[in-house]
Amino acid sequence: MGDGNKDCPNVIALPPLVFGVVLVIGLLVHWFWPIPIGNLQPPRWLGGGLAASSAVLAIWGERAMRRAGTNIKPTQPTTAIVQDGPFRFSRNPLYLSLTVLYVGVALMFNALIPLLLLPPLLVIVHFGIVRREERYLKAKFGSEYTDYCKRVRRWI
């Protein structure tokens, strides 16, 4: 995934792609073997709210990264440790927003199967993306990154 560029974390795939593929698989299984979460309306309303919240978080995080002058795509070099905006509360607000969006969509479809696929998805994201990024950032930024890690949680 690093496209031959050594100055990047070399993640297994672009995070939205990983979340999207697993979500589509879960929704396809739900299509053929529907297992609802519960009453139709409450999950849909909650899901819509979560999806909207995830969009706000993603936009906030993207703007913070742009203000810091660093790349958003993990296939490009990181030029700064972003510590403002949602990065004050989470080292991974963009992945958190993808997780919230994933749950929101599953709720909007009233689909249990995608929710059952969420824990394995998060394991893949943790080891295939987050941990690789953390190693890269620690090697590139040293104590600036480790100090940031001491102050801010990985997720929330």
Does any domain span residue 88? yes
> 7 lies in a domain?
no
Length of the chain: 156
Model pLDDT for residues 126-135, shown as the tens digit of each residue: 999 999 999 9
For 14-31, the pLDDT digits (tens) are 999 999 999 999 999 999
| Pair of tokens at residue 89 | 């509360």
Q: Tell me how far CA of residue 100 lies from CA of 76, 103, 106, 111, 154, in angstroms.
A: 25, 5, 10, 15, 15
| pLDDT, mean over the chain | 94
4 within a domain of the structure (yes/no)? no
Which pLDDT score, from 0 to 100, does residue 5 have?
Answer: 55
Total number of domains in the chain? 1
Is 9 inside any structural domain? Answer: no
Is 133 among the domain residues? yes
Please give the model's pTM, rounded to 2 decimal places.
0.92
Residue 2 falls within a domain, yes or no? no
Range of the domain at 124: 15-151
Confidence of residue 44 (pLDDT cuts 50, 70, 90): confident
Query: Would residue 76 count as lying in a domain?
Result: yes
Specify if 144 maps to a domain. Answer: yes
